[in-house]
Structure 1
Amino acid sequence: MEKYTYSPDVSDESDTNEEDTKMVDDPLCNPNRPVKITFEEITSAAYKIRSGVLNTPCIRSHLSALTGMDIYLKKDFLQQTGSFKERGARYAMLMLTPEQRQKGVVAASLGNHAQAVCYHGYQLGIPVTVVMPIIAPIMKIQKCREFNANVIMEGKNMDEAKRIAVALSKERGWTYINGYDNPQVIAGQGTMALEIMEQVQDIDAVVVPTGGGGLLAGVAVAIKSLYPSIKVIGVESERCASYTKAIENGKPILTTIEGTLADGLAVPMIGYNAWETSKTLVDKMVIVKEEWIAVAILRFIEDEKCVVEGAGACGLAAILAGQLDECKGKRVVLLLTGGNIDTTILGRCLERGLAADGRLVKCKVTVSDRPGGISELCKLIGSIGVSIKDVIHERAWVASDVFSVEVKVVCETRDYHHSIELRELLFSRYKKVRFDNFPPKCAVKTN
C-alpha cells in the first residue's frame, strides 16, 4: 500500500519562483511534487516509535475556570528532550536504510528538532550533525553536545542554517532530515493526535502551535480522518506568521521573521508537504501578539506549575487574548509542545508577562524636593499594599521648578484592579503623574 500520495493538482511543470527552486535541494520536499501524508502512515509511525517515545499525559487544566472553556493540556514537553519533536525525528531515523544509518544524518534547527535528532541518533547508534543558527538558545546548544553530536554554529537565522545543512548533506553523503517538512517527520508528529483522541472524549477543538507546519499537518490528518467535526486551529506569533502568509499567497512564501518569544516557531516559510497536507484541513489560523505569549507563560507557571517555552504557550495566549471566544463552554485541547525555554530568557518573559497582565507598572511622579517629599510618595504607595521594586529620581531635567523632583517608580501589584487603584490614588494626590505603557484590561483572574 502506498503510504504517501503525491497531490494530483500540482504539476511537475507548474510555475515556481526562485525560492521554490532552492527548496528542491531537499529531495523529500519538492515544491513541484508536494507529498500528502496519509492516516495510514501516521498509524505506522505510532507503532514503530512506541518503544522510544513517551505517551505523554493529557489532563484537565486548572485554567478551565479562568477561560470559561473545558481545557485539556497535552504535555508533550515531558518528552526526554523536552519537546514533541522526538516523535518525527525517531520515526524518520528508524526508516533509514542500513547504508544511510552508517553514513549519518544532518539537520538544521533552532534547538528542539536538533535535540530530538541528537538524542535518538545517540539511542540508535546513528552519527548526527546539527547546524544551529547563532541565535539558538544556549541551553539547547549544550544539550545537543551532551548527546555526542557534532554541533555547527553557523547562519544568522534558520534559512541560512538550513542551506548550510543541505550543502553538507550533499558534500558528505549524510541524510538531511527536515524538521517540519520531511514526510516521515510529519507522520511522526501526527502520532500525538492519536494519543489525544484516546485520552480525551468529546473534543470540540484542538489548538496547535504552528511554525513550519509539520505538527499542524500531522495532527490535522489524524483528527480529521477519525473525527471530522473536531476543529483544528493553528496559532502562530505575529512575528513569524508564515502559515498566514501562505494562506494569503495561496502557497508557501518566504516570510520575514523577527525575534520572538516563540522561537521554536520562527520558520521563514511553511513546508510544501505540510502545506499540501493541511491546507484543506485547518479550520482557523490565529496570530497572537508577543505580550499575550508572555502572559500565557506566566499563567502556566502560576496555575499549572508548568514551565513551557513561548511556542508551547501560544494556544493559551490565543484564548487569553479573546481570539477563540467561539470555544467558550466547549472542550478544547491545547498542545504544550515544548518546555526548553532558555533560563536567561525566562526571567524576562515573566517580567514582560507581569507587565502585560497589569501587575508590574512603571510611573513617573513629580513631587516636592523638600525633605520628606519622596518618602511621602513611597508611604502613599505602600499604604494600599503595593510593593515598590525600584525608585529613581531626576532633578536636572524637571522643567517645572527647582523645588521639584521627578521620581520614577516600578511597582508590583496583586492584579490589574490593584494597579487601577494605584493609578487613581496617585492622580488624586499629585498634579503630574505619568504611567508608561499602562496595559489595557488583560485576562484578569477571577475567583
Structure 2
Amino acid sequence: MVNVDDIIIAREKMKGVIHTTPLDYSKTFSLLAHNEVYLKLENLQKTGSFKARGSYNKLISLTEEELQKGVVAASAGNHAQGVAYSSQMLGVNCTIVMPKGAPLSKILATKQYGAEVILEGATFDDALSFALELKEQRAATFIHAFDDEAIIAGQGTAGLEILDQLPDVEAVICPVGGGGLIAGVAMAIKEKNPHIAVYGVQTVACPSMKQSLIEKSPVIVDSTPTMADGIAVKKPGQKTFEITQKYVDDVYCVDEMEIARTMLMLLERNKLLVEGSGACSLSSLLYEKVKLKEKKVVAVLSGGNVDMNFISRIIERGLVESGRFAAFNITLKDKPGELQKVLSSLTDLEANIQSVNLHHMGKNIYPGYAQLEISVETKNNEHIDILYKVLKEKNYSVEMTDFQP
C-alpha cells in the first residue's frame, strides 16, 4: 500500500522535471468566500495539469526492461498529455489511445510530446478496451489514470508543496474524479498534520466518489454531460476509494452554473484560464458547499487545458449565468421609428446592444407587427429585471429567451 514516504521519495525524484507550482493568495476570492483563500496553480504545471506528477512518478518506477517495451494509456484529456510528456522526458516509446471524438487540440498536444496517437472507438470505454488489447499485443505497460500506487504518490507531491508553502493551512480542497489527486494530497497532508481538513469536490453530473462513500464501496453512477469533463469518472478506483475513505473529511458537489461562473471569475479577476474540473474546488467555496469561515484555505486548481473552441462558449455561459448577458423577443408595430424607440429604451438604461434581428414575417407575426430578437450586455440580474420591467411598462410584448452555448 502506498504511504507518505513514497510521496516524499517521489518529490525528490521529480525535482527539475516537474514544476513546484505557485500558491497564490487571492484577496478577491478571500472577500467573496469569507476565508483566506489561496490558489494552488496546477493549471501552470507541465502539460497544463497535475497529471504530469503521477505519470512521471509511475514511469520512473518501471524497470529498464519495462521501459524498453514502451507504455500504453487511454485518455481523451490531461492523462494523455501527462503520460506523453513523461515518456518524452525518459525516452520511452508511448502510445495513447483516444476516442475518435477527442478534441483536435488535445490530439495535437499529445503528439507534440512525441506520443503515437491512435484514434479508436466513439467513447472513452472503447478507447480503453483497445488500449488494453494493444498492451497485451505489444507486451507494454499500461499506465492507469488514477488507480495506481505510483500515480497516487506522484499526485500527492502537490500536498507536500502546499504544506511547505503554507504551513498553517487549515483546509485543502481538491477536485475529485477517479480519486488519484485527492488520495495523494489527503494522505500527504493528513500524515503530516491530521488536524488539517481535506475536502473533495465533484459535479452533480457525476458524483461517483460521493456516492461510493455513502455506499461504502466503489460504485458506478449515471453521468450527464458536464463542462468538468476531466472529473466525469463514473466509478472511482479501489485504491483511491480506500485512501479517500480513510483521510478525506467529506466530498461535496457543485453544479454547471456554479462551475461556469467560477471559470469566468478566475479568468476575469485573476487572469487565470482554468478548466471546469479545476474550477470546482474554488466553486465549492464561493457557493458555500464547504462550510468554512475565516479559515486559511487552499483550493487546488487542477488544470487549465480548455479546448480553444470551447473557451468562448464557457465565457458566454458564465456571462449568462452571472446576469451579464440577456436576450429578448419583443413584438412591436411595423412602422418607421419603432425599432429606434426600443433601442433607445435599452441604451438609456446602459444596456450594450450585442445583436439585432428584425423579422417582418413569420408564423406568430400578425399583419402590421414585427418580431425583434435582441441580445444585450448587462451588469447583473437586477439590471436585466429593470430592462424587462421598463419594456413592459412601455406596452411592448416581451419574452426573455433562453441562451444555449
TM class by smaller structure? over 0.9
Matches within 5 A, 1:260-275: 260-275=226-241
Q: What are the within-5 Å matches in structure 2 for residues 331-346 of structure 1?
A: 331-346=296-311
Between 227-236 and 85-94, report the one with greater CA deviation. Answer: 227-236
Counterparts of residues 127-276 of structure 1 (less than 5 Å)? 127-276=93-242
* Alpha-carbon distance between aligned partners in 2 of 1:400 and 1:413, rounded to the nearest angstrom: 28
The 2-side partners of 1:394 and 1:292 are apart by 35
Distance between the aligned counterparts of 2:100 and 2:245, measured in 1?
A: 32
Which consecutive aligned stretches of 4+ in structure 1 deviate over 6 angstroms post-superposition? none
Q: Deviations over 1:11-68 (max 9, x none)?
A: xxxxxxxxxxxxxxxxxxxxxxxxxx31121112111112311111101013222222
How far apart, CA to CA, are the structure 2 residues paired with 1:154 and 1:256? 23
Q: Which among 52, 63, 67 is matched to residue 86 of structure 1?
A: 52
How far apart are residue 252 of structure 1 and its match?
1.5
**Aligned residue number for residue 384 of structure 1:** 349
- Percent identity at matched positions? 37
Paired residue for 2:42? 76
Alpha-carbon offset, residue 398 of structure 1:
6.5
Distance of 2:201 and 2:361 partners within structure 1:
48
2:32 touches 2:286 (CA, 8 Å); kept in 1?
A: no
In 2, Cα distance between equivalents of 1:168 and 1:399: 58
- Matches of 1:216 and 1:201 in 2, distance apart? 19
CA distance in 2, matches of 1:431, 1:293: 35
1:363 CA drift (Å):
1.5
Query: Equivalent residue of 1:40, what SS?
Result: helix
Shift of 1:416: 3.0
Name the aligned partner's letter for residue 415 of structure 1: N
Query: 2:214 & 2:122 partners in 1: Cα distance?
Result: 27
Counterpart of 1:292 (choices 250, 258, 278) is 258
Equivalent AA in structure 1 for residue 55 of structure 2: A
Amino acid at match of 1:417: E
2:73 pairs with 1:107: yes
Query: For the structure 1 residues 160 and 246, does the alpha-carbon distance in structure 2 shift closer, same or farther, using more than 3 Å as the test?
Result: farther
1:378-417 alignment runs, 5 A limit: 378-397=343-362, 399=364, 401-417=366-382
Residue 156 of structure 1, CA deviation: 2.6
1:388·1:412 contact (CA, 8 Å) conserved in 2?
yes
Question: Structure 2 vs 1, CA of residues 135 and 327 (structure 1 numbering), >3 Å: closer, same or farther?
Answer: farther
Aligned partners of 1:313 and 1:42: how far apart in 2?
25
1:84 is matched by which residue type in structure 2?
A: F
Task: Name the aligned partner's letter for residue 291 of structure 1.
Answer: M
Q: 2:320 aligns with which of 345, 355, 358?
A: 355
SS in 2 for 1:301: helix
Does the aligned pair in 2 maintain the 1:159–1:268 contact within 8 Å? Answer: no
Higher helix share: 2
Indicate if the aligned counterparts of 1:367 and 1:430 stay in contact, CA closer than 8 A: no
**C-alpha displacement of 1:289:** 1.1
**Which amino acid letter does the alignment assign opposite residue 292 of structure 2?**
C
| Closer, same or farther: CA 185–208 of 1 in aligned 2, 3 Å | same
Alpha-carbon separation, structure 1, partners of 2:166 and 2:46: 23
Equivalent pair of 1:366/1:430 in contact (CA under 8 Å): no
Whole-angstrom distance in 1 between the partners of 2:101 and 2:286 = 29
**Does residue 65 in structure 1 map to residue 31 in structure 2?**
yes
**Residue of structure 2 aligned with 1:121, choices 87, 104, 107:** 87
Report what 1:309 is aligned to: 275
TM-score in terms of structure 1 length: 0.86
Question: Where does the alignment leave 5 or more consecutive residues of structure 1 unmatched?
Answer: 5-36, 439-447
Instruction: Tell me, in whole angstroms, the C-alpha distance in 2 between the residues paired with 1:141 and 1:129.
Output: 12
Distance 1:270 1:47, change over 3 A: same
The number of residues matched between the two structures is: 402
Unaligned ranges ≥5, structure 2: none
Question: For 1:306 and 1:257, how far apart are their aligned partners in 2?
Answer: 28
Out of 375, 395, 411, the position equivalent to 2:340 is 375
The equivalent of 1:22 in structure 2 is: none
Give the drift of 1:397.
Answer: 4.2
Which residue number corresponds to residue 10 of structure 1? none
Alpha carbon RMSD of aligned pairs, Å? Answer: 1.7
Q: Is the 8 A contact 1:56 1:79 kept in 2?
A: yes
Q: Which string of whole-angstrom CA distances, capped at 9 and with x for unpartnered residues, describes residues 298-320 of structure 1?
A: 10110100111111111122233
Q: Is the alpha carbon distance of 1:399 and 1:168 closer, same or farther for their aligned partners in structure 2, counting shifts above 3 Å?
A: closer
Output the CA distance in 2 between the equivalents of 1:185 and 1:223. 17
Shift of 1:354: 0.2
Q: In the alignment, is the contact (CA less than 8 A) between 2:33 and 2:288 conserved in 1?
A: no
Q: Deviations over 1:220-249 (max 9, x none)?
A: 111111222222111112222221232243
Q: Structure 2-normalised TM-score? A: 0.95
Change (3 A) 1:206 1:135: farther
Of 189-198 and 416-425, deviating more is: 416-425
Of 425-434 and 282-291, the range deviating more from structure 2: 425-434
| Per-residue Cα deviation, 1:180-210 (whole angstroms, up to 9, x for no partner) | 1111001100110000011113222211111
* CA distance, structure 1, for counterparts of residue 221 and residue 131 of structure 2: 20
Partner amino acid, structure 2, of 1:311? S
Q: Counterparts of 1:254 and 1:159 in 2: how far apart (Å)? A: 14
